[in-house]
């Protein structure tokens, strides 16, 4: 089977890091480029973190570019309470062996699409600022060369940044509205799915049992991330949101989805950034997305552990 060409747009971010690992490790994905966006941390830090993850995981030859430093409208938000001041607290990282691409994210997306022989899948796991900016700047190229967008964001239920809004959407609601209104094939994997995959103590045990430096880094990441989720949300184990996007690509059916009309609330005093998902078709609006509803959690964790095992066996980049 021909690997799926993917551009990962992320804000690492502990869970973004695992999305990156899975995308790089799995044979069903051809990871063409990594773009970063302001979200969990300022964009300079998310770009550095993407380079750090590529270095420790031995992911070479994939360009990493930094994108928008703020949302399309208003001031940005970050999540140091979850990801730490660096955006990737927990393990110690040395100097990255992966350079920052001199192009900005939108240019890298454009040139990657133009340079690839066929359509490419965009996998956003952070605020949708870069994706929206690309769609606004290059609508024809997007229509011609973007196969689908599989994003982590939103929720069919409660939010996590506010009671109504999930972080990625809350960070840039206008960008999310542009993506959901684009007419492209959009899949939304939200909190209602990601909270079905908490990174339990058993997962950490499986990772540490791999016995590689990368596995230790991954376990240390999840240890920090888990402590943050216990502190902030009182959860026993942290949901590993972002790699569900890649898992959905490599294992169709692992995440179950239904077609639905998704609207992004832009003006609500208490609800701005909410994804209003019409699961029952009561609005009469046509479906504009496939919305995640369930996941095979055991299969998901097998994919994660296998990815760490695969990359750990290769070793880190050494500059
Ligand atoms: O709400 C969870 C999402 O926001 C994840 O993508 C996490 O990394 C943060 O970006
Ligand atoms: Ca993220």
The 3-state DSSP class for residue 54 equals helix
Mean pLDDT of the chain: 98
Report pLDDT digits (tens) over 219-256: 999 999 999 999 999 999 999 999 999 999 999 999 99
Give the integer Cα–Cα distance in Å for 57 and 24: 9
Share in percent of the chain as helix, strand, coil (round to 5): 40, 20, 40
Report pLDDT digits (tens) over 269-315: 999 999 999 999 999 999 999 999 999 999 999 999 999 999 999 99
CA 50–ligand 2 middle distance (angstroms): 11
Give the residue from 32, 28, 27, 30 showing the smallest Cα distance to 65: 32
Is there a contact between 241 and 191 (Cβ–Cβ < 8 Å)?
Answer: yes
| Ligand 1 atom closest to 166 (CA) | 1
Residue 319 lies in a domain: no
CATH number at residue 10: 3.90.245.10
pLDDT of residue 1: 85
Is there a contact between 19 and 56 (Cβ–Cβ < 8 Å)?
Answer: no
pLDDT band at 316, cuts 50/70/90? very high
Report pLDDT digits (tens) over 113-134: 999 999 999 999 999 999 999 9
* Catalytic residue status for 241: yes
Residue 295 lies in a domain: yes
Report pLDDT digits (tens) over 192-223: 999 999 999 999 999 999 999 999 999 999 99
Is there a contact between 72 and 38 (Cβ–Cβ < 8 Å)?
Answer: no
79, 175, 232, 240, best to mutate for ligand 1 pocket (most atoms within 8 Å of CB): 79
49, 126, 162, 292, best to mutate for ligand 1 pocket (most atoms within 8 Å of CB): 126
User: What is the domain range of residue 289?
Assistant: 4-314
Single out the catalytic residue among 14, 26, 195, 241.
Answer: 241
Q: Enter the pTM of the model.
A: 0.99
Give the integer Cα–Cα distance in Å for 50 and 96: 9
The dihedral built from the CA positions of residue 216, 218, 222 and 225, taken in this order, carries a sign that is positive
Domain count of the fold of the chain: 1
* Ligand 1 site residues, Cβ closer than 6 angstroms: 11, 13, 15-16, 39-40, 125-126, 152, 160, 166-168, 241-242
| Ligand 1 atom closest to 160 (CA) | 1
Burial of 95 (0-12, 13-18, 19+ CB in 10 A): exposed
The dihedral built from the CA positions of residue 313, 316, 317 and 319, taken in this order, carries a sign that is negative
And the tokens for 19?
Answer: 């999305």
CA 16–ligand 1 middle distance (angstroms): 8
Length of the chain: 319
CA 154–ligand 1 middle distance (angstroms): 10
pLDDT reading at 52 higher than 80: yes
Is there a contact between 216 and 180 (Cβ–Cβ < 8 Å)?
Answer: no
Is there a contact between 48 and 10 (Cβ–Cβ < 8 Å)?
Answer: no
pLDDT reading at 319 higher than 80: no
Give the integer Cα–Cα distance in Å for 62 and 68: 19
pLDDT of residue 143: 98
Give the integer Cα–Cα distance in Å for 226 and 147: 35
Residue 45 lies in a domain: yes
Give the residue from 228, 273, 245 showing the smallest Cα distance to 127: 273
| Ligand 1 atom closest to 194 (CA) | 2
| Ligand 1 atom closest to 79 (CA) | 9
Bridge partners, residue 151, by sequence: 188
Q: Whose CA is nearest to atom 2 of ligand 1?
A: 167
């Amino acid at each position: 089977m021909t690997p799926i060409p993917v551009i990962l747009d992320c804000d690492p971010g502990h869970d973004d890091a695992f999305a990156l690992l899975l995308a790089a490790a799995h044979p069903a994905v051809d990871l063409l480029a990594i773009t970063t966006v302001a979200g969990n941390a300022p964009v300079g830090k998310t770009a550095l973190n993407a380079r750090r993850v590529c270095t420790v995981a031995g992911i070479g030859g994939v360009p990493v570019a930094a994108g928008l430093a703020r949302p399309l409208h208003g001031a940005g938000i970050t999540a140091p309470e979850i990801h730490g001041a660096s955006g990737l607290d927990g393990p110690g990282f040395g100097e990255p062996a992966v350079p920052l691409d001199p192009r900005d994210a939108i240019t890298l997306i454009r040139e990657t699409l133009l340079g690839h022989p066929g359509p490419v899948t965009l996998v956003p796991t952070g605020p949708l600022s870069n994706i929206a900016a690309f769609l606004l700047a290059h609508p024809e190229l997007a229509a011609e060369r973007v196969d689908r967008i599989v994003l982590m964001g939103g929720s069919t239920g409660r939010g996590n940044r506010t009671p109504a809004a999930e972080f990625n959407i809350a960070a840039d609601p206008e960008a999310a509205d542009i993506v959901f209104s684009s007419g492209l094939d959009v899949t939304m994997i939200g909190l209602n799915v990601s909270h079905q995959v908490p990174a339990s103590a058993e997962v950490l045990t499986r990772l540490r049992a791999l016995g590689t430096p990368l596995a230790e880094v991954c376990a240390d990441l999840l240890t920090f991330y888990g402590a943050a989720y216990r502190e902030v949300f009182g959860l026993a184990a942290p949901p590993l949101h972002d790699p569900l996007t890649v898992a959905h690509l490599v294992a169709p059916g692992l995440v179950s989805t239904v077609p639905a009309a998704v609207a992004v609330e832009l003006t609500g005093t208490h609800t701005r950034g909410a994804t209003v998902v019409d699961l029952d078709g009561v609005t009469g609006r046509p479906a504009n997305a496939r919305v995640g509803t369930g996941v095979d959690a055991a299969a998901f964790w097998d994919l994660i552990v296998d990815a760490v095992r695969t990359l750990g066996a290769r070793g880190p980049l050494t500059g």
